[in-house]
Chains A and B, each alone.
Chain A
Amino acid sequence: MARASGSASPPSGSASAETRPSRRRRLGDLLFPWFTGGLALAVMAGLALLVILLVERSELALTAFGPGFLVGATWNPNARPPLYGAAPFVDGTLVTAGIGILIGVPVSLGVAMFMSELAPPWLRDPMASLIEMLAAVPSVIYGLWGFFVLVPVMRTSVEPGLEAHWGWTGLFTGEIFGLDKLTAGIILAIMVIPTISAVSREAMVAVPTSQREAALSLGATHWETTRVGVLPFARSGIVAAIILGLGRAIGETMAVTMTIGNNNHLSTSLLRQGNTIASWIATDFLSAATSPLEQSALLELGLILLAITVAVNVVAVLLLGRFFRLEESRE
């Protein structure tokens, strides 16, 4: 390594100024952060560019239907002029994701609480691995399983009972096929469990042990310790976990496409067939290829889905970031 000649070196006295880095070293240390940072930036810029392209591609539908697209109840390429509205799909997305969250959240919280507070220590890691396996199963296999295993069960055992007892609510009426919004919602509930329970568990584990010890030393039971010592502190992390799960449920495509029954009519009954934004894009994509307006309307649906999921994920990521910073500062 070359000795510093002294003339051009920055403030002398500090040890690093004594030696001048070799040219190669200086160049490498200069270029490497710029290169990796530039790459990261390029990924971001590239994606922004892709989104702009998507907006441009949906312009035809955006100008043709305006904001009324969101509430338009029909999707009819054969009408004169053709009419495209997103309401049935927005409805299907909200309803199925709602069912998924309604069923998935309590189960996930039970799983998370068990894994972080109640299970004996030797069981916690294997449990977490099993739940992770649930997340590793591809969604098309959930769809296949739903189509062949869950749908018959729903048709023969679950839905007739629901119709008989709760049919008066208007939520469970109509001919029973098994392929419907309720089944799709239940598949979504199963699919959000790994996300919500893993993130909530992390939030609960992050709560300082002193919280638990304080409650236990006052004679609290395990459940009371969890209720007063853990849950209140993990709350915003758990909320973030639920929002993350919601984002997954809204965007899930294959499992829903294979179990929701593919129908574009609005209906209040959960036993009716339907479509979500994602399932309709997957279903209609090829037949829309011949009509520029329909294709553009479909891409606008994709844009709406992108906007919703980005918004949901931004909220979740911000909440999670704040939660873990707070926990770190607490320790």
Chain B
Amino acid sequence: MAIIRRRRGSVSTTTVTAPAMLLSYLALFAWTFVVLFPLYWLAITAFKTPLDVNSGPFYIPWRDFQPTLDSWHYIFFDLREDTFRPYLNTVVVGLMSTAITVLLGSMAAYALVRMRYQVGFGAIGSFVVAVAITVVVVIAGGPWPLGVVAGIGVFVLLLQTVARRFRRGVANDDIAFWMISQRMLPPVATIIPIYIFFQQLQLLDTWAALIISYTAAHLPIVVWLMRDYFQSVPVELEESAAIDGASPYRIFRSIVLPLAVPGLVATFLFVLVFAWNEYLIALFLTSANAQTLPMTVAAQNATRGPQWWYMSVLILIMIGPVIAMAIALERYIARGLLVGAVKG
């Protein structure tokens, strides 16, 4: 009989009998196998020759087949440009968009937790009317600068007059819900206007287009996660800093952010993984120049048929950095990241 004691807590209740432990390990190793075997297969396929792949399944290197670096050579030297450009694009777009998203999102999340907002229905209504007027002007064929100017004018006018009559409005929780619920929006429902927008600005197939779109797509996650995180940070430090005369910006930068590092790390990793792997937006907005790695991998099939050996190398170098980060930061993910989901 094996008894495993809980490290924390006084009394151990988690006694595991030998048969139960054996069964647990069996189940755990079964799933470990399910997780790792595809990755193992990917890794060995990257070291096979086309002949090894096509002449049947070979499982163990050096026994069943002789590993070779041919595919790696092809990907890194023969295809140099076609591999490194998407890689650079993915790194730049991933890091930039994640940094911007985490910054804007945690600012908004912090503000939603610690500051009080009261937006009148009048102001929201004026804004909707202004947007409607802009849209009508543009659709009716007017030049878009005219529409924007008209919209802003109407907005200011209404805000100063009619909007003041409305008393009721939306508060912090409504704003937070509105932001987070954006995640429900399928990207495909918004991508066509975004495509047209970037086309008008001639920004299609550039880093800027991808960075801006990713920021918008991933902001809800950051607001959702960081809001819960900031709620769990004690407010006393900020209060005493405020009494000592620190500005809100200083408090945010010197007190709140350093305290929230575990949450920030987890959120950063989470958003980075999303941006790194993003497919749909890149599919619509990029073609050759700003193509990201998922596009490159997906395109392998279309151009040359399934050449598993090259594809395995590409997939390996694509998932390598993310997996390394996940392993290094696993502790943060479990603790910092999912406060929101756990709280419900």
Q: Do A and B come from one complex?
A: no
